Structure 1
Amino acid sequence: MSSATRRQILSRTGATAAGIAFTGALSELFAGTAGAAPGGHTGRAGYGPLVPDPAGLLDLPAGFRYKVLSRQGDPLRSGEGPVPSNHDGMAAFAGRRGRVHLVRNHENRLSGKIGVPTVPGLTYDPAAKGGCTALELDGRNNVLGERVAIAGTAVNCAGGPTPWRTWLTCEETEDKAGTNGYTKDHGFIFEVDGADPHRTGAVPLTAMGRFQHEAIAVDPASGIVYETEDAFEQPFGLFYRFLPRKPLGGTGSLRAGGDLEAMRVPGVPDLSVVQETGARFEGVEWVPVPDPQAAGTPIRHQDFGPRGITHAQKLEGCYWGGRAVYFVSSFARVTDGSGGTHFGQVWKYEPHRRRLTLVVVFGPDTDIRLPGESPDNICLAPTGGLMVSEDGNGAQHVFGVSEKGEVYAVARGAQNIGTPEDPEWGEFAGVTFSPDRGTMYVNCYTPGTTFAVTGPWC
């Protein structure tokens, strides 16, 4: 039974059980977690059953509570306009005097419900409706400020934080100027300073490539930026690395340019054909991208030589842990043109060994009551746990995974955007933790809502 069919059955039956089937070395995802607290939550399987929220917003385990920080359509505290819709990727950064800066993506296309307001000095293309907003919070998660951080970008899906405390927001589109009313080319990465957006402005980091960007992760030692591409049709996306000319050191480093390369796994043209966890590939190669600007041909269509290049369907989440970069293939289907079918993979690339390993495979569960395939955003919590955001039809959860591979529900969306007879719930996105590890911030994509969740995380 297909994933969509299973989820439709789940939504129509009102089933509330949740679980994920995993195989593979889950310990890989916890080893060397930056900032992991000793005695953290990695060995415990969950916080107990989810308790229905009387307010109908967010179901959490007993002992946890949430605060709504922001909802689409409400006025921005800056007075620049309404809070935009389609809340997606997000990161939290430490500010002065115990404050927290949240930078939040808005994945708006031209038909987005509420676009990001245009602001002088922060707008790239006035015709585009995507961008980022920034929230400033005090130590008790009270909102002190909320403003536009960048506007005039398109389909801002995910991205990732940098070691110098900025956010790289990614456009998941390849539309060029003159397409769909846009006045400038799109498909770039932009750097955003949530504390001072005018410091970074609205400057595309063109050397990092023009393609359907999803997420990034930065090697804190070298400054190399790894990038995923979520292409929607064949040939599917590539996994990239960007070697900046001025590694590390703030905003100017990435603007100074660099070299973009794509990953080639010798003998593996399509990662979906790999089905066995623990499968390991030595001697990974990095091939220069012929035309990073994709002036005439999208990068994934370009000529990488007689040995070709390695593709993968639905490359999404990307994050750095220990001495390796991890990236997610959300799913692959032979019926879509992939070489194999799977329900979610997590790959680990070790730069110092030039080694790629398949460390986790998701689902499928055999019980239609149990959702659990198609991972989207994956977050390594500061306490050492893994958080997984589900993306599909049916009930939407944030799951935690223990070091032993035990899965537990952390949150469930309760905002029904369908009908009583055929309910729907918006996906979760942008899971991130506060610098003091005491709060999980998470977005509901539709209706756009940002939550702060506190409780006994450790």
Structure 2
Amino acid sequence: MTRRQALARTGALGAGIAFTGALSELFAGTAAAQSDLGHTGYGPLIPDPNGLLDLPKGFRYRVLSREGDQLRSGEGRVPSNHDGMSAFAGRHGRVHLVRNHENRVTGRIPVPTVEGLTYDPAGKGGCTALTLDARGDVLTERVAIAGTAVNCAGGPTPWGTWLTCEETEDRAGTNGYTKDHGFIFEVDPADPHRSGAVPLTAMGRFQHEAIAVDPRRGVVYETEDAFQRPFGLFYRFLPERPQGGLGSLRAGGRLQAMRVPGVPDLSSIQETGACFEKIEWVDVPDPLATTTAIRHQDFGPRGITHAQKLEGCYWGGRCVYFVSSFARSADGSAADHYGQIWRYDPDHRTLTLVIVFGPDTDLQLPGESPDNICLAPSGGLMVCEDGNGTQHVYGVTRHGDVYAMARNAQNIGTPTEPEWGEFAGVTFSPDGRTMFVNCYTPGTTFAVTGPWRRT
């Protein structure tokens, strides 16, 4: 099967690619640099004798939690389908981890229902929360919210809470649900009972993927991972209480969708460094999608901008980054690509395509279908891979080099037809010394430590 390994321009020939432009996110390497990861990252990946996680020399991992084990709270078993995650600073050097579980109605191990934390008893998804001490040992593990559905990703807020997103539009009466789904919920990582299980309805009802918050303005950016045409939109939510704080988003606000003038489909843009000015934001006619899904609604004669597989979303510096994992013309996209990372600058109202992933045939190198992303201590990006074949967490340096950081060694297929689960939820501890990441299947949460470079 053809794989996507290098960040590449459309139509580039040969193995060596060099990008032009001054954007720090642009990849500026060659195939030779890719094979010599010691010059671009932390060195080659060392096979793990325990068959769990391959890392560079000098790095080590600890398994914090695995699906099927008993929650330390005694509330039931650790749920399956580990997905989006974030880390928060606690008292006395403690770290709080909040972890999504993307369980549908057929989820292997549902999130246990807990009084005061359950939205819809028929929902199998939700979040669990782990508290680690200053040495990284797990102190507690408990349910943070239950009764939600398909909790895929989300994102942290500047006031120290987690916004978990439902990637579904199922209504009450569908799949046995007793309430409408497709909302964002706020979770307090230190005390989930303070946040409860209240949908943030003003932020829209659609197939949510991830969010990122502008810490200066309080604006929340949201991605939509729609599976069929018309594809998803990129949104921003203008809260009534932009100063933030636990529960502030319940006060409501205005939901808008991004329009790139003259670009109905982001997949049609293939050149890294392509920049669009005067980005427009259009009010969503019916954020609750009471009769029509938002992406189907009428945004006027000029329409709205769509993109296939909008997933990861992260705030970095003064800009928001978001990911389109792939686009396929066979599915109805305007063009094909193997992954894009876009940057929106709210100060200048510009949208820039900063990374495009291109084709290669090496099954052992990253990467295709980028998904969750976060900032690394070195100032670059860490990207989770969600595609075919071997799965990686890979980094993009401030200079634009890509390197493999971790490889999933848990074969969930057979010796002759191996298969590996995707990575998700990559995040760093507040002090930058530990990378936390999930393996989706079998649900496993890792803590990775080692000689991280810092800036």
The two structures have a TM-score, normalised by structure 1, of 0.92
Distance, in Å, in 1 between the alignment partners of 2:114 and 2:346 is 40
Task: Decide whether the 8 Å contact of 1:104 with 1:132 is kept in 2.
Answer: yes
Task: Decide whether the 8 Å contact of 2:71 with 2:78 is kept in 1.
Answer: yes
| Correspondence 1:367-382 to 2 at 5 A | 367=362, 370-382=365-377
Q: Which amino acid aligns with 1:425?
A: W
Distance, in Å, in 1 between the alignment partners of 2:48 and 2:311 is 30
2:155 corresponds to 1:169? no
From the superposition, tell whether residues 259 and 120 of structure 1 become closer, same or farther in structure 2 (CA, over 3 Å).
Answer: same
Match of 1:53 in 2: 48
Residue of structure 1 aligned with 2:88, choices 83, 87, 93: 93
Instruction: Kindly state the Cα deviation for residue 26 of structure 1 after the two structures are TM-superposed.
Output: 8.3
Moved more, 61-70 or 382-391: 382-391
Distance, in Å, in 2 between the alignment partners of 1:385 and 1:261 is 29
User: Residue 251 of structure 1: SS of its match in structure 2?
Assistant: coil
Moved more, 211-220 or 324-333: 324-333
What is the aligned-residue identity percentage? 78
Match of 1:332 in 2: 327
Question: How big is each residue's C-alpha offset from its partner over 1:188-242, in whole Å with a ceiling of 9 and x where there is no partner?
Answer: 0000011010010000000000000000000000000000000000000000000
Task: Decide whether the 8 Å contact of 1:26 with 1:404 is kept in 2.
Answer: no
2:303 corresponds to 1:317? no
User: Residue 272 of structure 2: SS of its match in structure 1?
Assistant: coil
From the superposition, tell whether residues 404 and 28 of structure 1 become closer, same or farther in structure 2 (CA, over 3 Å).
Answer: closer
Task: Decide whether the 8 Å contact of 1:164 with 1:248 is kept in 2.
Answer: no
User: Residue 2 of structure 2: SS of its match in structure 1?
Assistant: helix
Question: How big is each residue's C-alpha offset from its partner over 1:272-298, in whole Å with a ceiling of 9 and x where there is no partner?
Answer: 111111111111111100000001000
Moved more, 357-366 or 77-86: 357-366
Distance, in Å, in 2 between the alignment partners of 1:188 and 1:222 is 22
| Correspondence 1:19-30 to 2 at 5 A | 19-22=5-8, 27-29=23-25
Distance, in Å, in 1 between the alignment partners of 2:52 and 2:429 is 21
Q: Structure with the greater relative contact order (CA < 8 A, sep ≥ 6): 1 or 2?
A: 1
User: Residue 429 of structure 1: SS of its match in structure 2?
Assistant: strand
How many pairs are equivalent?
432
Match of 1:34 in 2: none
Structure 2 stretches of 5 or more lacking a match? 10-18, 27-37
Distance, in Å, in 2 between the alignment partners of 1:192 and 1:390 is 26
Distance, in Å, in 1 between the alignment partners of 2:383 and 2:206 is 25
User: Residue 371 of structure 2: SS of its match in structure 1?
Assistant: strand
Q: Which amino acid aligns with 2:6?
A: I
Question: How big is each residue's C-alpha offset from its partner over 1:121-153, in whole Å with a ceiling of 9 and x where there is no partner?
Answer: 000000010000000001111000000000000
Match of 1:401 in 2: 396
Moved more, 363-372 or 351-360: 363-372
Match of 1:449 in 2: 444
Match of 2:277 in 1: 282
Question: How big is each residue's C-alpha offset from its partner over 1:400-446, in whole Å with a ceiling of 9 and x where there is no partner?
Answer: 12223222211111111111111111111000000111100000000
Residue of structure 1 aligned with 2:189, choices 188, 191, 194: 194
Distance, in Å, in 2 between the alignment partners of 1:154 and 1:411 is 29
Match of 2:123 in 1: 128
Q: Which amino acid aligns with 2:2?
A: R
Question: How big is each residue's C-alpha offset from its partner over 1:271-325, in whole Å with a ceiling of 9 and x where there is no partner?
Answer: 1111111111111111100000001000000001111101000101111111111
Q: Which amino acid aligns with 2:450?
A: G
User: Residue 399 of structure 1: SS of its match in structure 2?
Assistant: strand
Distance, in Å, in 1 between the alignment partners of 2:401 and 2:236 is 32
Structure 1 stretches of 5 or more lacking a match? 8-17, 31-42
Q: Which amino acid aligns with 1:303?
A: D
Residue of structure 2 aligned with 1:6, choices 2, 26, 36: 2
